[in-house]
Amino acid sequence: MTNMTLSEKFKRAAGVICRQGLVQFPVTDTAVTIIQRVVGDCSDELDLIVAFREKPSQTMNQLVASSGFSEETIIRLTDRLAKKGLVFNQPSSKGVMVYRLLPLMMVGLMEYKFMGVLTGSEAEKELAMLFERLLSELRDQTQDHYDTLVSLFTAAPAVDRTVPAKQTADGKAIRIIPIDQPLDSSEAFVLPSQTVEAIINKFDDIAVGHCFCRQRRSLLGDACNTNAPVLNCFSFGKSARHTSAQGFARKVTREEALKILREAEQAGLIHKAFHPGSRESNPETSICNCCKDCCDTLRIWRDGTLPMINSTYHLSMIDVDVCTGCGICLEWCPTDAIALNEDGVAQRDEGACLGCGVCARFCPESAISLKTGLRKVFILPPRLRVA
């Protein structure tokens, strides 16, 4: 290893981590400080992080070659980094152990650091504040280069997929309107699971942790406006094995998982499923249950940081002859896609509707149904500065 100071090693390691994942972060003092707080004065761990600079996922043999460490040392260091939320260490489908350096967020360090049981300590609050500052710096970068970034945003895949609510608050089935025409038979598309029950039933390994968004907002002093339940962040398969092994979550049975998900739906939370590499043909890795005010995906869109990019198979449909204009659907809609028109009747913006079904769940007149049809919801972040 080169004779670098610890300060230089922190900056170098932060530079490698900032390049991981869907979101590229600038290597600011804030990013470096986060790595300092998480890793601590562990020089070997910083050196191992840098070994991922050319290839973020590596087998043991590859990591031995890229790091110069022995297998015994790599196992020890990756175990420690995994518990700190920086390395994913699970075997592939072929049984080969793969070590992957995780990004700062989506899904990575930020999510894992606030997914476990928290104490409300000053250290946790400081880390929450550092991530808030990091997101503020990312917002500045987006706003400073808004026009340049639009084309990159447009080409980006959906970050997550909405799985709709299927029942109203009083237990009635939400009406589903079939798609007008079938998909082109030439398209090799397999419709992913459209209910949380179907997703849960796919997996033997299921783990549940705390909502990292609501927990981080709480550390920042922002209480959830809906007082939503917190223990409902799910991971599946090898992701469940990883989160439970590191203490970020605990294993649960299918029955426990379904009970927790029903409670989340009753609270008006939005089911959002995640797939490896944003490829919906792959089995889900996790389900978030999101509230309108705390969800990071919604907040960083509203704050002008990143676009909202979501995949959905449903679209809300409002029966204007039944709607009384009570405005309840406006309050619940996570993307503010519904407004009252000049006639005092609810009107939905198709481009902003996630098809989550929360509006239909709480409509007292049962005036809202869900129409099927695969869509990609893409909403640019608000432009906060004049060019």
Length of the chain: 387
Q: What share of the chain is helix, strand, coil (3-state, %, to 5)?
A: 40, 20, 45
* Residues 6 or more apart whose Cβ sits within 8 Å of residue 96: 59
DSSP state of 277: G
Structure confidence at residue 186 (pLDDT): 43
DSSP state of 273: E
Q: Please report, in angstroms and rounded to a whole number, the separation of the first and last CA atoms in the chain.
A: 46
For the beta carbon of residue 274, count every other beta carbon within 10 angstroms. 21
The SS3 call for residue 40 is coil
Strand order from edge to edge, sheet including 270-274: 176-177, 368-379, 308-318, 160-163, 270-274, 286-290, 233-236, 206-209, 250-251
Structure confidence at residue 3 (pLDDT): 80
Q: Which domains does the chain have, with CATH numbers?
A: 6-146 (1.10.10.10), 147-379 (no CATH)
The tens-digit pLDDT sequence of the chain (387 residues) is: 458 899 999 999 999 999 999 888 999 999 999 999 999 999 999 999 999 999 999 999 999 999 999 999 999 999 999 999 999 999 988 899 999 999 999 899 999 999 999 999 999 999 999 999 999 999 999 999 999 999 999 999 999 999 999 999 999 999 999 875 554 444 445 678 889 999 999 999 999 999 999 999 999 999 999 899 999 999 999 999 999 999 999 999 999 999 999 999 999 999 999 998 778 888 999 999 999 999 999 999 999 999 999 999 999 999 999 999 999 999 999 999 999 999 999 999 999 999 999 999 999 999 999 999 999 999 999 998 665
Structure confidence at residue 93 (pLDDT): 83
Structure confidence at residue 4 (pLDDT): 87
Structure confidence at residue 114 (pLDDT): 98
Give buried/exposed letters for 132-160 (b at 16+ CB in 10 A, else e). Answer: bbbbebbbbbbbeebeebeeebeeeebbb
What is the pTM for the complete model shown? 0.92
Cα separation values, 254 from 80, 234, 247, 274, 276, Å: 30, 11, 20, 18, 22
Strand partners, 161: 273, 311
Q: Which two tokens stand for residue 45?
A: 């761990």
Cα(301)–Cα(144) distance, rounded to whole angstroms?
16
